[in-house]
Chains A and B, each alone.
Chain A
């Protein structure tokens, strides 16, 4: 595929493996083995069987008729929220735990922002009987508390991270430090298409099941073979690349990635990396990065813990640069409004992250017969505190509509 990583681990100028020597043996072992494992028939069978019987795949592609009426186009929702544990993150952790087993590892570490990746990791560790340690920023522990409790119930040790902004970036630093200190028995399950090569490629391949299913689902639920648009939110970019993967070479399909603008891209409180960033190195990867003139990493901000990251997967930096994917962003308020709208019109409470993809629908003019796939990367259970606070002073999420929710 023309968007594949090259043999040096780069997507154009982005990617690579900027890691200290202490991490090199583990990263090299993964690099030397991941493609062999991913193409091994026994692995494929085991992975597919778990996706089907444990995760509950394929996830439905649902024609959202009332949302379609509202936006005057045809909207199909890719329901990753219906996966076991409530988000797309489990596709990656199921794959990586099988790889960890094959590499002879017995202890798993992970970072988490929203807690979805942490829960998905703790879940597969329980399933496989592996020790699990999850690093989570103190700020995120406070705003995603249900997921913290779930991880603990699943037997994971959740270690609060108090450095920096106490969010996803800092949790990732701490997970890397753990891996440096425990190289022999530990595998690091990174939660997105970030980190040193081969992680971005590995995670993209494991998440590519999302678009693989769309290849046959779109024609089942619409009158088109290909969608006109695929829209997904981007933190690191794993649900987005999973949603785009099998359509990258199909230039007819417009691919839209939505970043978190936070309080606005010029407010100083934002996570819109592709607006505010320039190339730099974060967590072992050369990629677009929010940083000061001196190259210090800037603390990002988003209401959504899963999008609150100052970098972005290197493949997205590349797809942005070559303009294969259109990147846009929406604010906290736009996302909240879109979340409430989906809830009232379709009876689906989306994760705050996914609400960013939904909010983009309001920023674009569609044709009536356009087929627009929106990936609902996760469900909103973890965000209830935020939603409840928001509803205490609701704007009207249905403003502009000529009909009511009781139509």
Chain B
């Protein structure tokens, strides 16, 4: 069974998924951060594959992408860093990033590498669902690799049902019309959208992401979806000093307590 399915089967509420950019703050931070996140109580991890032009990201993740590339991160290196990670880490691991580096790596190659290091899912915001179904689905399926799709407040009900049908694992529910970044609270409009989707009885569970930054937004997201994804706020907390492991512990405790 794909570890993502197992997680959603075993844990019903307040699932916490955390995004960070591979190769940031340091080139060899990747596995240190993954292990520290699991130990601190994260339920799932999204490992960012850095890209030169992250068009759906705000300043914090733009900066981490730029720095990671400067540090020398690449997909090839990332896969070699991740080889062996499954000896220690049990929670679902996903790769998140933009389509172009994946295409250049070769889709079949990429899926095979994901499978061999133990990646459970992929999030590629600029891969349209239709292209995924027509061109990539069969190769993803061969490796039991899930492609996680996004919905946004502008998505029509019809569109959301279409996306639900072709989704596996969970749906990434973008909390607001915005690029990634931090916000302190949800507006009434956002809550209305959460409720609208909650009442659609989708086949797949939803996690709310973009703008989740603290305990309040994490808990609130938990009311309307199965949990939340934290990205920018976590990335921002890294790289302040070199006590990476302690800082991660503190960050996760602050969110979950």
Binding site for B on A (CB under 8 A): 16-22, 24-26, 163-164, 169, 173, 176-177, 180-184, 280-284, 289, 291, 293-297
Contacts and interface: CB of A to CB of B under 8 A. Distances in A.
A295 B100 contact: yes
Contacts of B149: 21
Contact of B62 (A25, A163, A176, A296): A163
B222 interface: no
Contact of B174 (A21, A163, A164, A283): A21
Contacts, number: 103
Contacts of B62: 163
Contacts of B98: 281
Contacts of B177: 22, 180-184
B216 interface: no
Contacts of A284: 126
B76 A294 contact: yes
Contact of A22 (B75, B102, B152): B152
Interface string B48-71: 000111011110001000100100
Contact of A21 (B53, B104, B151): B151
Nearest to B62: A163
Report, nearest first, the 7 A-B pairs whose CB atoms are least far apart: A295-B104, A295-B101, A20-B125, A21-B150, A296-B52, A25-B154, A22-B152
A183 B75 CA distance: 32
Interface string B25-59: 00000000000000000000000000111011110
Interface in B138-156: 149-152, 154-156
B128 A169 contact: no
B74 A20 contact: no
B55 A296 contact: no
Contacts of B179: 177, 180-181
A25 B153 CA distance: 10
Contacts of A18: 99, 126-128, 131
B83 interface: no
B103 interface: yes
B178 interface: yes
A289 B53 CA distance: 13
Contacts of B51: 295-296
Contacts of A182: 177
Interface in B150-186: 150-152, 154-156, 159, 163, 174, 177-179
Contacts of A289: 100
Given A22-B152, A180-B177, A281-B99, A169 B53 contact: yes
A349 B4 CA distance: 63
Nearest to A289: B100
Q: How large is the interface on B (under 10, 10 to 19, 20 to 34, 35 or more residues)?
A: 35 or more
A25 B126 contact: no
B154 A294 contact: no
Nearest to A281: B100
Nearest to A169: B53
Contacts of B154: 22, 24-26, 183-184
B125 A177 contact: no
Nearest to A284: B126
Given A295-B105, A296-B101, A25 B55 contact: no
Given A18-B126, A24-B159, A280 B76 contact: no
A20 B159 contact: no
Contacts of A294: 74-76, 101, 104-105
Nearest to B156: A25
Contact of B53 (A16, A17, A184, A282): A282
A289 B155 CA distance: 30
B204 to A, nearest CB: 15
B174 A22 contact: yes
Contact of A17 (B58, B128, B156): B128
B111 to A, nearest CB: 16
B131 A16 contact: yes
Given A18-B127, A164-B53, 18 more contacts: A17-B128, A18-B99, A19-B126, A22-B56, A24-B152, A24-B159, A173-B55, A177-B179, A183-B154, A281-B98, A281-B100, A282-B100, A294-B75, A295-B105, A296-B51, A296-B69, A296-B101, A297-B100
Nearest to B134: A8
Contacts of A22: 56, 150, 152, 154, 174, 177
A43 to B, nearest CB: 26
Nearest to B63: A163
A284 B56 CA distance: 11
Contacts of B128: 16-19, 24
A383 to B, nearest CB: 27
15 contacts: A17-B128, A18-B99, A20-B125, A21-B149, A22-B154, A177-B57, A180-B56, A184-B177, A280-B100, A281-B100, A289-B100, A294-B75, A295-B102, A296-B69, A297-B52
Nearest to A174: B55
Best-surrounded residue of B127, B151, B152, B156 (most CB of chain A within 10 A):
B152
**Centre residue among B98, B100, B101, B178 by max chain A CB count within 10 A:** B100
Contacts of B58: 177
B230 to A, nearest CB: 19
A296 B53 CA distance: 8
A20 B105 contact: no
- Give the most central of B51, B75, B126, B178: most A CB within 10 Å: B126
A22 B193 CA distance: 14
